[in-house]
């Protein structure tokens, strides 16, 4: 996610802000900006691109004189990366400057309301409504104004706000998005994460949801939304810088595994309204969907594995044939596609070279394109006919985890939406599926609480030479991703197979000590998977099974069992993948490998 830094004290603010933002670059961003209180009022400088571009523009901060300010690095969610869409955002009068992390879910309604009141919007962002709301409700009391603004805003946010009428103090608030307060000697700070201020202070307050903080150089006061002052105990940071940048986690990959419940919730919550899936920016009509005779899902790597899950989910909910293709194959296979074909493209970065080429080939043949991407303003997002964004935030580790999970979530949302519009899903099934995806974060949190069990299993088999993953239907689709994760970061040879194919050749590779991970969560095929486990056990394999809670009989056949919470079958892949991610992570960690930067791999593949 984006980064926020705020400072008030005796020093020139702009250099402090730039330094703090540089410590948050790991979070990922596409633009940066600062707002500083000067003798002439609030001065805002912002720039698309790397932080160095902003620093050069303001001469390392020396070009702006003032001892209080706020800064921001932006990861685009609403509006493509640009100077205009960068933060901070000013109100029309210039009285207020705002930086924001998170998503304002009702920004369209607020924007329409404020426009009618005479406010002029210059950006495409959801954040600009906050600046104008402050100006609209301000009557001289900044705390009362903040409380009023919060009552009008839906979503997740951390806000930092300068007001020209208050030259010695600024205000901030936190709801869902992280925000801390740093306590210095004659100076104080806010930041999204500890690294931004660790060179200045190790004493911090961790703000809770809906806590408002007013900061000047000598004092920090925290209030709730009833304007009652809150007393908090300061926390003394004893981490080193490199650990702090990862939020205390040893690796970004592990941090991102643990962030999955929040990322999934961010992807789902804005899209569920009144018991229905609402995709506001999607222009596909029921008539168009009804005339689709084929859907291609086209992607690379882990995104391709999302597509394999998607085939089962879409065909079940929508009853339209789906073919999943690797993007580099689609572009060269002379695909059969026309105006009745929908091509769904999945990419975290939106810049994957083969997927871009496949999209253009599909459009050349008259097909309609539907993109599932994380990066706003990316090539695929700009060129596709429709875009469904995942709100995963930036993902630093090369081996994807939360991007995969949010892409799966987007597939569920798209499928429910299609079934809802076509009438192929009765109301009771829509309600059941929506409940399943809304409660998914809680079920994944439960799985993450049991990570110690998976670490123990990994400790027994991290020296394995080969690991085979087997499953049927949806389990097979997830097995593909589990196998890829393991080989990506542990360099252990690994393959995934449809369990029914064992006897058609693969079983020849089974010998004493071979590790087999058996996914057994498809209820109708549970007994068949037990038979497959017996087949490999009879040839000396060691079996790690993943099963739904309650299937205790599997303990008689497998050497180890990892249980996942009960849920709807079509959303089970989102649960099953989590222990596979953790297993791969712990195996690689025990081998002492560079987990976040595995050899020969890049985060975004922008060449063919």
**199-258 per-position pLDDT tens digit:** 999 999 988 889 999 999 999 999 999 999 999 989 888 766 666 677 778 899 999 999
How far apart CA 545 and CA 561 sit, in angstroms, is 5
The reply to whether 249-438 and 442-608 are identical in fold is yes
> Coil, strand or helix: which one is 503?
helix
The helix or strand, by DSSP H or E, that contains position 71, with its residue range, turns out to be strand 68-74
End-to-end CA distance of the chain: 28
In the predicted model, is pLDDT for residue 260 greater than 90?
Answer: yes
How far apart CA 175 and CA 145 sit, in angstroms, is 16
**CA-wise closest residue to 161 among 89, 60, 64, 255:** 89
Sort strands 515-520 and 542-548 into parallel, antiparallel or unpaired.
parallel
* pLDDT band (50, 70, 90) for residue 187: very high
Look up tokens 């993007």; give the residue. 327
SS3 content of the chain, % helix, strand, coil (to 5): 40, 25, 35
The token pair at 431 is 């309600």
* pLDDT band (50, 70, 90) for residue 606: very low
Taking the model in full, what pTM does it have?
A: 0.77
**438-482 per-position pLDDT tens digit:** 999 999 999 999 999 999 999 999 999 999 999 999 999 999 999
Give the DSSP letter string of 325-357: EEHHHHTTS-----TTEEEEEEESSS--HHHHH
Q: CB of 121 within 8 A of CB of 128?
A: yes
**20-31 per-position pLDDT tens digit:** 999 887 666 788
The token pair at 66 is 């003032």
In the predicted model, is pLDDT for residue 1 greater than 70?
Answer: no
Which residues participate in catalysis according to the annotation?
2, 603
**CA-wise closest residue to 541 among 469, 453, 438, 443:** 469
Residue ranges of the domains in the chain? Answer: 3-245, 249-438, 442-608
Give the CA distances from residue 261 to residues 34, 209, 405, 431, in Å, rounded to whole numbers and listed in that order: 31, 17, 9, 21
Per-residue DSSP letter, 207: P
- Could you please state the CATH topology (level 3) that the domain comprising 442-608 is classified under: Rossmann fold (3.40.50)
Per-residue pLDDT, averaged over 387-405, amounts to 89
How far apart CA 22 and CA 10 sit, in angstroms, is 21
3-state secondary structure 229-274: EECCCCEECCCCHHHHHCCCCCCHHHHHHHCHHHHHHHHHHHHEEC
Give the CA distances from residue 172 to residues 52, 161, 213, in Å, rounded to whole numbers and listed in that order: 26, 6, 5
- Could you please state the CATH topology (level 3) that the domain comprising 249-438 is classified under: Rossmann fold (3.40.50)
Of all residues in the chain, the percent with pLDDT exceeding 90 is 77
CB contact set of 187 (below 8 Å; sequence gap of 6+): 7, 8, 9, 10, 11, 200, 217
**In this structure, what are the phi and psi dihedrals at residue 249, rounded to the nearest 5 degrees?**
-85, 155
> Coil, strand or helix: which one is 3?
strand
Q: Which CATH architecture has domain 3-245?
A: 4-Layer Sandwich (3.60)
Q: CB of 221 within 8 A of CB of 213?
A: yes
The helix or strand, by DSSP H or E, that contains position 485, with its residue range, turns out to be helix 474-490
In the predicted model, is pLDDT for residue 78 greater than 90?
Answer: no
How far apart CA 72 and CA 2 sit, in angstroms, is 7
């Amino acid at each position: 996610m984006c980064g926020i830094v705020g400072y008030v004290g005796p020093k020139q603010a702009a250099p402090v802000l730039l330094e703090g933002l540089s410590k948050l670059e790991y979070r990922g961003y596409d633009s940066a900006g600062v707002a500083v209180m000067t003798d002439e009022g609030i001065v805002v400088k912002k720039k698309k691109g790397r932080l160095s571009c902003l620093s050069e523009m303001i001469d390392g901060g020396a070009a702006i004189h003032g001892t209080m300010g706020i800064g921001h690095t932006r990861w685009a969610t609403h509006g493509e990366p640009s100077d205009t869409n960068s933060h901070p955002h000013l109100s029309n009068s210039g009285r207020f400057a705002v930086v924001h992390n998170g998503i304002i879910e009702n920004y369209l309604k607020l924007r329409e309301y404020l426009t009618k009141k005479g406010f002029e919007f210059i950006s495409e962002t959801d954040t600009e409504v906050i600046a104008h709301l402050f100006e609209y409700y301000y009557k001289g009391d900044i705390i009362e104004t903040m409380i009023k603004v919060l009552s009008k805003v839906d979503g997740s946010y951390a806000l930092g706000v300068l007001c020209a009428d208050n030259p010695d103090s600024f205000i901030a608030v936190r709801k869902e998005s992280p925000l801390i307060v740093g306590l210095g000697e004659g100076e104080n700070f806010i930041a999204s994460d500890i690294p931004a201020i660790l060179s200045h202070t190790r004493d911090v307050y961790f703000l809770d949801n809906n806590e408002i903080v007013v900061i000047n150089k000598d004092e920090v006061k925290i209030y709730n939304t009833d304007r009652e002052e809150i007393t908090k105990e300061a926390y003394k940071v004893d981490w080193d810088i490199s650990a702090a940048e990862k939020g205390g986690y040893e690796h970004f990959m592990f941090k991102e595994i643990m962030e999955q419940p929040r990322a999934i919730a961010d992807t789902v919550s804005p899209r569920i309204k009144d018991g229905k899936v609402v995709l506001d920016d999607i222009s596909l009509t029921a008539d168009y969907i009804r005339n689709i005779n084929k859907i291609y899902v086209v992607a690379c790597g882990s995104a391709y594995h999302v597509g394999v899950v998607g085939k089962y989910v879409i065909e079940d909910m929508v009853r339209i044939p789906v073919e999943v293709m690797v993007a580099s194959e689609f572009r060269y296979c002379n695909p059969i596609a026309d105006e009745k074909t929908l091509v769904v493209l999945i990419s975290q970065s939106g810049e994957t070279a083969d997927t871009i080429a496949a999209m253009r080939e599909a459009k050349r043949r008259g097909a309609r394109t539907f993109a599932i991407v994380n990066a706003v303003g990316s090539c695929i997002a700009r060129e596709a006919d429709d875009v469904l964004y995942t709100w995963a935030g930036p993902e630093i580790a090369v081996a994807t985890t939360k991007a995969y999970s949010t892409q799966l979530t987007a597939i569920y949302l798209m499928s429910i939406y299609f079934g809802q519009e076509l009438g192929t899903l009765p109301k009771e099934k829509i309600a059941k599926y929506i409940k399943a995806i809304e409660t998914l974060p809680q079920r994944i949190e439960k799985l993450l609480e049991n990570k110690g069990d998976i670490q123990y299993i990994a400790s027994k088999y991290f020296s394995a030479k080969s690991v085979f993953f087997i499953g049927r239907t949806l389990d097979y689709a997830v097995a593909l991703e589990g196998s890829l994760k393991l080989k990506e970061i542990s360099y252990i040879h690994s393959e995934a197979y449809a369990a029914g194919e064992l006897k058609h050749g693969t079983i020849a590779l089974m010998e004493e000590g071979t590790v087999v991970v058996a996914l057994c969560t498809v209820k109708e095929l549970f007994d068949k998977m037990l038979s497959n486990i017996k087949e490999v056990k009879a040839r000396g394999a060691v079996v790690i099974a993943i099963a739904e809670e309650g299937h205790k009989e599997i303990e008689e056949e497998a050497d180890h069992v990892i249980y996942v919470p009960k849920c709807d079958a079509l959303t089970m892949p989102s649960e099953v993948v989590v222990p596979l991610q953790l297993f791969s992570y712990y195996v690689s960690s025990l081998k002492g490998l560079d987990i976040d930067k595995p050899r020969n791999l890049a985060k975004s593949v922008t060449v063919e």
